[in-house]
Chain A
Amino acid sequence: MNIFRKTIHGIKGLLSGMRLTFHYFSRPGLVITQQYPENRETLELPPRSRGRIELVKDPQTGHFLCTACGLCLKACPNNSIALEKTRDPATKKMRLVKYEYRFDRCTLCGFCVDACRFEALRMGAHFENAVYDRNELTQDLAGDSPPGAAPGPAAGQSQPPAPPATGDQPAAPEPPKGPP
């Protein structure tokens, strides 16, 4: 009897598989392939796609949410992020001057986004990254914030772990996820 039960079980499994593939086959609307160069204007990337990173602006104030804490910099396994910051003389808070992002070193691993505690960083949707000179891949992401004083420091220069500027945050930052 066991053999019959197993046979019926097996046939059921095969049929349910065939039903699934026919479901996809009979509904061309479910196709997820993008006809990329043709639909460049209307291209919609999946929400979790990873392009180069972007700084997020506060929709109300129009300022960057970044507090220049440097967690992303520490999380980065490739040293592709460098920060330059000043202390605001009025509020005594850290302020971002320059966010240097070296896309030529970035592997789009997303550790910086995971490490950010203020949701000030996200993986962007921009993926057409070809340039003629690799120097163009080094960019200041905080470009439209008030200009900083000096040219950016060499990437890889270590930063002291700046505590988060907001007082209600715990003092010790969580250790960022290490590279695997």
Chain B
Amino acid sequence: MGNWIYHPDKFVAALTEWLQQVLGNPLAVELAKMAIGAAALAGFVSVLAMALIYVERKVAGHMQQRLGPMRVGPHGILQTVADSLKLLAKEEITPADADQFIYNLAPLVCFVASFVSLSFIPFAPRIQAVNFNVGLLFLLGVSAVGVLGVLAAGWSSNNKWSLLGAMRAGAQILSYELSATLALLSVVLFAGSVDFAQIVESQRAGWWIWRAPVVGLVAFVIYTISSTAECNRTPFDIVEGESELTAGFHTEYSAMKFAMFFLSEFVNIFIVCAVSATVFLGGWMPFHVGGFAGLNRCFDLLPPWAWFFGKVSALVFVVMWFRWTFPRLRVDQLMHFEWKYLMPLALTNLAAGAVLVTAGLYLFR
């Protein structure tokens, strides 16, 4: 069992062996593995979203000298369970003039986009739902499909606030996608791969945030900013902008369709933080300092998945910290910031990264 904690891939291997014994047929084994993987991810997603919503509310409360949820369960830990049950029991309302088909499809598009993105993330060595040699590229593509769901929701709701929110979402996410991708690309140059497993493997000597001198740090900051914008989080939450647009694109949604948007929003936060942790902070790779074998062995005591979740949690906390501190940007300020400052900076950073890679000027080669 202890072996499985440090090497979850051995658990997967044991599971595969057991399936082979039970089922025999290799095709059936593959199908069973897919089903188990999908079920595990689905379970993970729902638990993750509930946990993140609870944490968000607690963090928000304590940052404002409040307590957050306290009533349901000790310190309110069952609050999101109660909320989910409530949402399950509520009426699904479709506005009379809404475009029924697209209206019902939109939450699914959002949810599927974030669900699929999650399957490329390596949680531990060889623990990855889909091992894909262009994982990073595919993830960027799939996560951009989510904005299609947002646009569809805003359009089909037949409500001017929804439409305005969706238009803002489209403009904002497409703009900030550029900087995010450019920031990730500058690390891809160093790592020499767009496969998540290999990007993590390339950081065995040190994490890219400091191994790529300055460029790594700048790329990390750019990615943090633009990924916050991609998740529609404050200070970039003009998409939902409660004071201006009621709730933006999901104004007309209720019950589980609303919950789907919420779910995908929180899963998206996890995904961008997981990508950031994987690309800049070494993913599941423990913190190692060259030459200090004893220290490194101490860090190895934590299993790789604990390192991964620790890094992701820290990043998620920073994103929440942003949300409960910063005021919202105006639409024009938002576009100004992206097109006039962030994207040129990201491009310059990418060029500098290319020069450094060509010259071989990075640490711990």
Contact = CB atoms under 8 A, between A and B. Distances in A.
Interface string A17-48: 11011101100101111010000000000000
A23 B321 CA distance: 12
A14 interface: yes
A33 B66 contact: yes
A14 B324 CA distance: 12
B361 interface: no
Contact of A35 (B62, B63, B70, B322): B70
B321 A21 contact: yes
A22 B326 contact: no
A33 B67 contact: yes
B325 A31 contact: no
A21 B327 CA distance: 13
B62 A28 contact: yes
Contact of A21 (B66, B67, B324): B324
Contacts of B324: 21
Contacts of A24: 62-65
Contacts of A18: 321-322, 325
Nearest to B64: A24
A32 B65 contact: yes
A178 to B, nearest CB: 34
B59 interface: yes
A17 B325 contact: yes
Nearest to A22: B321
Contact of B67 (A22, A25, A31): A31
A31 B64 CA distance: 8
A1 B324 CA distance: 31
B326 A31 contact: no
Nearest to A34: B67
Contacts of B70: 35
A18 to B, nearest CB: 5
B321 A31 contact: no
A30 B64 CA distance: 10
A21 B66 CA distance: 12
B311 to A, nearest CB: 19
B78 to A, nearest CB: 17
B52 to A, nearest CB: 17
Contacts of B67: 31, 33, 35
Nearest to B327: A17
17 contacts: A14-B325, A17-B325, A17-B326, A18-B322, A18-B325, A20-B325, A21-B63, A21-B325, A24-B64, A24-B65, A25-B321, A30-B65, A31-B66, A32-B66, A33-B65, A33-B67, A35-B67
Interface of B: 59, 61-67, 70, 321-322, 324-326
Given A17-B326, A33-B61, 12 more contacts: A17-B325, A18-B325, A21-B321, A21-B325, A24-B65, A25-B62, A28-B62, A31-B62, A31-B66, A33-B67, A35-B67, A35-B70
Interface of A: 14, 17-18, 20-22, 24-25, 28, 30-33, 35
